[in-house]
Structure 1
């Protein structure tokens, strides 16, 4: 490895490793990006490169190394050898998250055979610390209960095979968008609470978009949901006290249709334009990606909304042309706070969250 560089890792959805590697290389944040295991990309970069927020990454693994052991006992010993010097000298409370890479992929079974081993490894490692590193263990706080707002040191142990573990140690730091990474439990993809009344799966997509951006509709906000049926995104906004104009020729679920703050406009979502600016515009329509971006541009030109969440769908796993068009839109309309993410609930699509 070149002098002054460290190995950094990123976790992504299974099958998107090459897309993420190309994105990181094109952004100039490092080199030699490759995927040693499904859902994991690693490469060499300067520390400053970590401030870049990749579209296709779902978690950061700063300063990561591979640790190996032919048995669970050997793996824990090797993990201890790697972590003891770091944790002994660390003055902050520390926490640990053990998982497999597909913890960040919806409905993945790629690492199903390792899920129990990851939990066992965490349990046995803490037992080992209690025996050999009692003073260091005094600073340990459980991942599920640690105060995310206070400074802490994060250990991530990502099991990629029975004998291989990728280990990352770091404090949290700010990305270029001002978000703190590595993500802790409140921003872990897939952490949206289940809603038995959600009309469809896309409900979780919008909730995650708001969660990732840290902005949400307020009570009384006016939202326009283009292509709303069966009402997943409309329902998410209604739950937060917003008033929603749901635009679609198709039917909404009855409990959405009959909500007192829902107005069902039986119209073409692609062509719809409100008489006065809305607080939010939502769009999750199945149309060509450039058509979706064209729709967004019309709304921006008319200043028809203050904020928006737009889902852009595409085929394959080479969205570079689409990303170029999005960057042109960003610069043209000065969308300085635009967030572009391949969400946990996204498939062949990316989600744009932004505003004027």
Structure 2
């Protein structure tokens, strides 16, 4: 049966639950956070805390409840008992998204044993609604068709075992960075379109970073890609009509090297500094985290770029000192717009997306 206490939660990539819990407590977004299942973190955050944008959260899961049932029929009945009072009073269009937490983890197989059960849960719940809650069903809009720009009630059902799920029912709210959460389908993981010409996997990191920030290079803008080889980030910018200085001693893929808007500079990416301010600086080099932040610090001191996307790589999964150093850098340069996220395509790294 559904428990009566209401909590707030977050979805994160598998393996990053402890880092997310520590971050939420350290930033005073709430307290008593714990992980009931891989990829899911639950705690007692305030409504104000929900407006904080955690680095390690991939999705918001507000006003959530635990639901259990021995069979799928029991689970549907318990889910209905939890949601009926909410849907009966709801004046807005509503939609429902059923999934397992590893939807937000690339290449995860942890929840393979639940493959197909999320879709079955959604199907059976909608059948129950059609039979017993037709009036509430009139406001339902399919997840793939709902207008993301209009107010709605978003129901998320996260299945973590055959007879155990967490459900969230909440209106969307605006975070401190101005983004609306919980995210809808356009921000779903893996939403970056496949490109058979992408030189490497890192191409998808930059595309996701732009998608998250909602800003992209424009035609004719000048970008510098530090440590560019084999050309994943350079290729992403070239596709959008930008002109790119790709800085690396190593080779670029031929279709990147030969692009008319690509200038391959055979120099040390860590030491490179443009003669005049450029529109974008990109950096995905494998160097120590404080060295990467030192590089960004120099670029900001020189006012060498207007926008940047920088990946800070680290070992282990407890990057508290790195987060502190990033915040110090933000304060030092008074960066007005900075998003710091562990993205879907990130591994042991954090992505910084900034504009000055």
User: Is TM more than 0.5 here?
Assistant: yes
Name the counterpart of 2:12: 12
Return the alpha-carbon distance in structure 1 between the equivalents of residues 20 and 190 of structure 2.
19
SS of 2:116's partner is helix
Name the counterpart of 2:31: 31
**1:189, CA displacement in angstroms?**
2.4
Name the counterpart of 1:60: 60
Deviations 1:32-75 (A, max 9, x none): 10000000000012222100100000000000010000000100
SS of 1:331's partner is helix
Return the alpha-carbon distance in structure 1 between the equivalents of residues 189 and 324 of structure 2.
25
Contact 2:6 2:65 in 1 (8 A): no
Return the alpha-carbon distance in structure 2 between the equivalents of residues 23 and 29 of structure 1.
9
**1:197, CA displacement in angstroms?**
0.7
Unaligned runs of 5+ in 2: none
Residues 1:344 and 2:344 are matched in the alignment: yes
Name the counterpart of 2:188: 188
Contact 1:98 1:159 in 2 (8 A): yes
Structural RMSD (CA): 0.8
SS of 1:139's partner is coil
Deviations 1:87-144 (A, max 9, x none): 1110100000000000000000000111210111001111111111111111111111
Consecutive aligned runs of 4 or more in structure 1 exceeding 6 Å deviation = none
SS of 2:123's partner is helix
**1:299, CA displacement in angstroms?**
0.3
Return the alpha-carbon distance in structure 1 between the equivalents of residues 64 and 215 of structure 2.
31
- 1:225-240 mapped onto 2 (5 Å cutoff): 225-240=225-240
Unaligned runs of 5+ in 1: none
Name the counterpart of 1:153: 153
Residues 1:75 and 2:75 are matched in the alignment: yes
Residues 1:102 and 2:102 are matched in the alignment: yes
Name the counterpart of 2:91: 91
Contact 1:98 1:157 in 2 (8 A): yes
**1:196, CA displacement in angstroms?**
0.7
How many equivalent residue pairs? 352
SS of 1:259's partner is coil
**1:6, CA displacement in angstroms?**
4.5
- 1:217-296 mapped onto 2 (5 Å cutoff): 217-296=217-296
Name the counterpart of 1:136: 136
Deviations 1:333-355 (A, max 9, x none): 00121110000000000000002
SS of 1:338's partner is strand
Name the counterpart of 1:334: 334
Contact 1:6 1:46 in 2 (8 A): no
Name the counterpart of 2:112: 112
Return the alpha-carbon distance in structure 1 between the equivalents of residues 285 and 159 of structure 2.
37
